[in-house]
Each structure stands twice: as C-alpha cells, then as structure tokens.
Structure 1
Amino acid sequence: MTSATATRRSDLEHRAESASARLPGLLVAARHIAATVALGSHGRRRPGMGESFWQFRPYSSDDAPHAIDWRQSAKSDSVFVREREWISAQTVTLWCDLSASMHFRSHKDWPLKAERAATLSLALAILLIEGGEKIIRLGADGSPVHGASAGRLALTHMAERLAIDLAHPGIGGQPSFSSAMARHGTTILMSDFLLPIADIAQMLTSFAQRSQTLHLVQILDPAEETLPYAGRVRFEGLEDDGEFVIDRVEEARTAYIEKLTTHREALRALCVAHGWSFAVHRTDMPPHLTLVALHRAIGERDR
C-alpha cells in the first residue's frame, strides 16, 4: 500500500467515524421534532404512488344499480356512486446549506446553523414521507443526491448523507439548481442567505423559470441578528475569507442591524414577487415552531 493510498484510506475512515458519531443524535432530534409537530396537527396524509381512495359522485343513467352506495346516498336526497380514484404521490425537493459558513454558533448551548438546517430538513422529510409524499435531496452543488424516494430507507440514506456532510463541510460555492428543477414542483431551501441579493436572485432564477413553489428558510444565530459584542473584536471568516477588526463594535451595532433588516426585507420581497414563502429561524428558537409553519405552508399547495 502506497503512502498516498494509506492517507486516503485514513481520511475515509476518519470521515466515516465522524459521520457515525453524528448520525444517532441527528436522527433522534429530527424524529422528536417531527413527532412534536405531528401531535399538534391532524397531519396531511395523502395517498402515495399506487394508492387509492374512495370518492363519490352523483348516479347517472349510465351507471349500474349495483354501483350505488346506499349508505352515502341515505345522507342526502341524491343518489351516489362509489368508485376508486388513483392518486400519485407528490414530490418535495429539499436542500440545506451545510457549507463552512453555516458552521457557526455564538453560544455553546445553541446548535451550529448547519446542524439546525440538517435537523429541520430531516424532520420535514419524516413528516412528508409519513404523509405519503416522496422526497428528493439536493447536494451542496444543487444537484440531486438521488431520485425521488420514500420510506424508511430513504430517510436512513438522507440521514447518513447529512451526517457525512456535517462532519466535513466544504467551502461554500454558489449552488446551481437548474439541473434539478421539474416544472411546477415544490422545493424547500434552508440557508443563512447572507449572499448579496443580486447573487441570491440569480441563484433562484431556475425556480421562477420552471414555475416552482419555493419555500425559503433563513437560519441565523442570535448574534448575527443582534451583534451583542462590545469593545475591540476580531471577526474571522469561516471560508478562508480573511478577518477584520472593529475597535468599538457597539458603535457599529445600529448600522449593522439596519443593513441586516434591509437585506431581509429584500429577500422577503423577492419571495413575494414570485409567490414564494419566506421564514426566519433563529437557532435559539424551538425548531418545531418553524417546522409547523413550514409544514403548513407546503400544505397550502394541496388546496
């Protein structure tokens, strides 16, 4: 075995160990959040691919008498026929930003932004699959990790891949979503969305072109919203983007918050213009609150 091969093998083993350590906690947290949401709602169970349900329609002269559903007909003055209608499962596409810039937290008791994004994404996948939907997960570059899938195996594969990506974040390049977009689909994107608005608008162009229903969830650490520091502070980038020093942070706080607010309102306006939804989640918030709102927003498309 060459030294290069040994190094690669050691690196793979390290990646596997790191991912394995994260996997149980990720799954437990996601299932707990999903269960909390499910207990607080009636769910949105839909028949999946190949499933069917009974529907009723008024009796016509072309129908055979044995097709009449007398129980349903007895509830009104009309006569109804019962028949089966086949329903295809809807497919929801999920992407969460796990790049190095998302691996930030300002307090040890709060999760990394990337951890919260992964947990929310997996919890949502659990709810969707339990509701009869299929899911597609997009990788860091915006391309599908796998085709549309459902069931426990799909959740296991998704959790394993998320754990690996969390353990080894890459430098965040702008994803290209164009290859993944079907027309009139539903996609959920989770990130801090702190890129310039023009870059974000360009990144989302393919969704608008394909008439996608899009749901954006901006995930931020509380410190990114309030800039709670004082005195001389050195800020270091998480993606090899250097560092800078502010002598009196408290004097920059007002301008910083105003700039963040302006940026967020531009994000919201972008979503409103296309009929998309936009939500903000802070990592010190209970995750199920955001998941309830997101789950409800996705359900609006069925009405």
Structure 2
Amino acid sequence: MKPLPALELVTRLEDAEWLDPVAKKVRKVVKRVIRPKWARDVLHGVPIGHPVHPLAVQVPLGAWISAAVLDAFPGNDRAAAVLIGMGTGTAVPSAVAGFTDWSQLHPQQQRVGLVHAAANITATGLYLASLVARARGGRGSGKVLAYLGLAVVGAGGFLGGHLTYRQAAGVNHSEEIPHRFPSGWQPLAPLAELPDGKLHKVVVAEIPLLVYREAEDVRVLSDVCSHLSGPLHEGKLKGGRLQAGAVQAAGASGGGDGSGDPCVVCPWHGSTFSLRTGEVQAGPATARQPLFETRVSDGLVEVCLPGAE
C-alpha cells in the first residue's frame, strides 16, 4: 500500500528552511520565558523519565473529542461547553511543555514542530471562538467552530506523530544498545592506554562507548546521548577527581561546593549524565545512559552490559 500524499507534504516540511528565521525567534522567546533550570527539567519530563508533552495533551484532546460527541446529540450544549472550556484551559500547560522540548531539537524537527504548534494554536483559537459564540446564543456556529477546531487539532496530531515516529523526537536514542551489544565480558582496552581524568571514546563490537578513568577506576557509558544521539566523548567533564581538586582549591578561597561526582555534559544540547550511574542529572534528556560494568584482568579492561541479549 502506498503512503498517503499528505505524508510527502509533511516530509517536505523537514527541508523548509524558510521556517528557520521564525523558529529562531520563537526559540529565543521560549528560552527567555522558561529560564530556571529546574523548571525546564520538569517540563522536559526528567523526574518521570519521559517527555511530559505527550502525556499532557491527552487532557485537552480527550475533552475536545468528548465535546464533539456530545454536540452530535441535542440537549448537551452546557456539558459540551464545559468540556471545551476545560480542553482550552489545559492546552496551555501542554503547549508550554511542548515548546520546551521543541527548543532543544534538530532544525529539521523544529520545522515540523513549528507547524505542529501552529496547528494546535489555531485549533485552540477556534475552540475559544466556539465558546464565545455559544455564550452569545449561537449554538449552531459554536458547534461548527468546535468541529473545525477538532479537524485542525487532528492535523496537528498527524504532524506530532510524524515528529515522534518518523523523526524520533522525544524517544530514547540509546534504547537499542542492549539489543546490539554482545552478552558477556568483552575486551575494551589496556588500562595503561586509557587517558586518566579525561573523556575518551572506544568502539567495542561496533558500539561507541564513553570511557572515563580515574586511576584504577574505569566508568563506561554508551557514547550515544539518549536525547538526540550526541557524541558524549566530545562533551564536557563536570566534577571528577581533577575538577574536584580545582573546586576544593576554589573553596579554600571562598567558592565552589567541593562536589567530585563525575558527570558528562552532552555537547549538542547540554544533557548531563552521571558517569557513575548513567542517570540523568539535567535535561533535555529523560532516559538514562546504558551503564557498563567494568573489570581489569591482567592489565586489560573488560566491559559487560547487564541485560545485553
């Protein structure tokens, strides 16, 4: 079966560079409005382990669809209006979460996401107009506006599906690692060849790994950032023994917190992961990095990924 013609139109949006100036302006507004790091992490979904936006949109969509069903039968005007009002109100926090995620995507994803957002904003405006018409006694026009809003939000949902399932926005880009990495212990590199106190990349079984060594202690994560596949070995080291010494020296002069827990900051969008656990310390990533067990045998570092098939 051939894909729908509409799919080709959506695919063209990925290369619509004329949207980039608009995206740049909107991105600046989003970053200016949502400034606290903790707020961005909550809106990204770091505490719950996956994006908030797909979960939040269920409320307005459910309310609007339910209102459409009620509008199809007489005597439900008041109940339909209540549902439309609830959907319109809850669309706001959903949009805030969506724009927060959108601001940390690749340009091709942002182009599609911008049109997706425009469709949803248009739909929300139509539902607001429906409420105004109903309040003025125009039940017929109110229903027409509501059904138009449902059609537009449906188109926006199609774009959202393309963004997620075709462009892989918001998904875990490290999920495949346990399915590709061989089970059991695998040779990594001689301990003496691993740089001390620095981020380093080693490829094992065609899988790029991020390696961090402090003396005899070797920490290994997947080198592919779970957010959008950024190369973590090109990122920044945060904490760790060497930086902890500098922080402690600064603390003696009245600054620094003395934290020595080593973390890696992704060079693309700033996601931060603990090198000891793989857990997300700061978004936009929401999924932890695969953490490899390590051991040293006769000077050779070996790695094992729990759960590898």
TM-score range, shorter chain: under 0.3
Normalising by structure 1, we get a TM-score of 0.22
Normalising by structure 2, we get a TM-score of 0.22
